[in-house]
Amino acid sequence: MMLTLASLFTELCRDPADALLLSRLYKLCEQNAPELRAYYVHDDATCREALTALFARPATALRSLIPLAEAQVRTRHRLDDETPIDARLLAALADDPLCQLLLSESLNMQVRFERFYTGLRRACLHGLPVTIAAQPLMAALALQAWINEYLWEEKPDETAEVEAQSKAIAAAIASGDLTEATLPILRWAMYRPLGALPAAEWLATRPSAAIPQVLRLLWQRTLLAPRQEAALRAALPTCGQITDVTSRAVQAQYEENPYPRWLRLSGAPRSVLECNRAYDASFAWPATFREPLQILVAGCGTGQHPLRIAVANPDAEVLAVDLSAAALAYAQRMARELSIDNIRFLQADLLHLPASGQRFHHIDCAGVLHHMRDQQAAWQSVTAALHPGGTLRVGVYSKVARLPVTHLRTRITREGVPTTAAAMRAFRAQLLREPESAAIIGPLRGDLFSLSMFRDLLFHVHEHHYTLTELEQHATACGLRLLGYQLPPRLRRHATLPAGPPTFVQWRMLEMAYTGSMGMFFCTLFRPKSGDRPLQSESQVRRVASVKRESLACASG
């Protein structure tokens, strides 16, 4: 019997680990189901309880649930960016575990919430008396600041007050009383990581039992985890020296700002074979392929994507490669925390892949090729590492969709904005205040809410934007064929898809019909086996047909 939505929430309160119930809730949230709409405008105790249980469970993927949780917190406390922050509201939020979990376990991506939270943070720093009961809320704000990499706007008086906290912390620690240091540590941590404290070394050597409970998660994430990553970084295997000028510049950016900072794997992953068969139901690996499947994730960043691939393909061996040792160390730490052991990490330039002699049955290369100087060399390098009969998933930026980014980068160059954290934070705050910038940054909202995301969006050291024709030309030059292309969910819901096997011509027609809807071009290509008919691009096919028609016309004349 189909559960009502109210019954679904009741059952999830009892068992938040029930995969079938959770799958149904994900689907309802992703489809914006009509029966959910009431929960976006009215708070509901059972819904809140279910969401609280789900957010508190580390294995829960949260992305689909965040808008619903935000709506429940917003409607319960009547929050917006102009809500007055007083002692009554502070006490109510301190008594709301869902609000605290929303802050500590997910990245806020709503401007109106950010404005409210920055006001709340300021009030907790100086302005409102803070009780012991409010300290977990301050810790949640501090964890949110760590997740967004301290991107929120900070006023000069806040900076001065935060710096003053380090003296209070040092004095309390000198007395040997960490409990006395708790409040100044929380005030500091809402703006800075614990690792930046003068007393960081001393704090890092304390046993867990000596750390007050309210500080423990902050202590683990912002002090201990970076130290674990430093140790992992020192032991990372490498392949060749990174000598390409552009590769070195890109590496330097991601060493400073590993991208992105994440806490949980998201979504229900599908195996590579399932993904390929979604394009062609008859797809099969060549009989010559032997298990385990060898998968390369080229440009793996901080590891969220390759770890999802490793989970979805448990019998495969996954190699995750990136330029940045800082990003790889973060990825390796998360792999250990999640007990994912069918993955290895390697620091290398994609240009060096052929020299390694390794070959892969599937390569995932999303968000990478467009950051390389020599596009042809990059494509050839990746293709050379692919077994004949193997597949290559590519994701590159659309030239049309990135026009707002091009516009803003021109402005950044004109105004001479440097890539310091303070300058980028100030430029972002300026953009969010300007009414005339609202239309430009509207399509980019998803990348505005953490420092590494914002830098990657607007301050990247090198980025090439693609047309579909250029993507086809590179694929064809490397002897690759189109297996299928991926459309954004909103476009899939509205577009009328052409019949027959996918082609670049069909894809271009959709792009023209829905201009700018594809922020990135995602497709899967395959490398024909030896003996397969050589690939011709669609433009070559048309030219051959034209020559044949002209020849027939001459013969008949």
**67-99 per-position pLDDT tens digit:** 999 999 999 999 987 889 999 999 999 999 999
- Amino acid letter at 546? S
Q: Tell me which residue of 191, 193, 206 sits closest to 151, measured CA to CA.
A: 191
What's the average model confidence in pLDDT over 18-46? 94
Phi, psi dihedral angles at 243 (to 5 degrees): -115, -25
**CATH T-level fold of 245-400+465-538:** Rossmann fold (3.40.50)
Q: How far apart are CA 344 and CA 515, in angstroms?
A: 39
Mean of pLDDT over the chain: 91
Question: By mean pLDDT, which of 309-323, 387-401, 516-530 is the weakest?
Answer: 516-530
Please report the pLDDT score of residue 155 as a whole number.
94
**pLDDT value of residue 513:** 81
Q: Which of 158, 164, 148, 169 is nearest to 121 (CA)?
A: 158
Residue the block writes with tokens 């979990």? 101
Mean pLDDT to the nearest integer, 321-345: 98
- pLDDT score of 532: 53
Q: Are 276 and 283 in contact (CB under 8 A)?
A: yes
What tens digit of pLDDT does each residue of 127-184 get? 899 999 999 999 999 999 999 999 999 999 999 999 999 999 999 888 877 889 999 9
- The pLDDT > 90 percentage for the chain reads 82
The SS3 assignment for 362 reads strand
Q: Which residues pair with 318 in a beta bridge?
A: 295, 343
Whether the predicted pLDDT of 542 surpasses 60: no
Q: In terms of C-beta density within 10 A (0-12 exposed, 13-18 middle, 19 or more buried), how is residue 446 classed?
A: exposed
pTM: 0.92
DSSP string, 72-114: HHHHHHT--TT----HHHHHHHHT-HHHHHHHHHS----HHHH
Phi (first) and psi of residue 398, to 5 degrees: -80, 130
Residue 355 predicted with pLDDT over 90 = no
Which residues have a Cβ under 8 Å from the Cβ of 385 and sit 6 or more positions away?
Answer: 296, 353, 354, 356, 358, 359, 360, 363
Confidence (pLDDT) at 557: 36
431-458 tens-digit pLDDT: 999 999 988 898 888 899 999 999 999 9
H runs (alpha helix) in 126-224: 135-147, 156-174, 178-189, 200-204, 213-219
For residue 397, which amino acid is it? Y
Residue 494: pLDDT band with limits 50, 70, 90: confident
Parallel, antiparallel, or unpaired for β 360-366 and 294-298?
A: parallel
Quote the DSSP letter at residue 220. Answer: I
Which pair of structure tokens corresponds to residue 389?
């009969």
Question: What is the Cα–Cα distance from 12 to 20, expressed in whole angstroms?
Answer: 10
Tell me what pLDDT residue 517 has.
82
Instruction: For 14-27, write each residue's pLDDT tens digit.
Output: 999 999 999 999 99
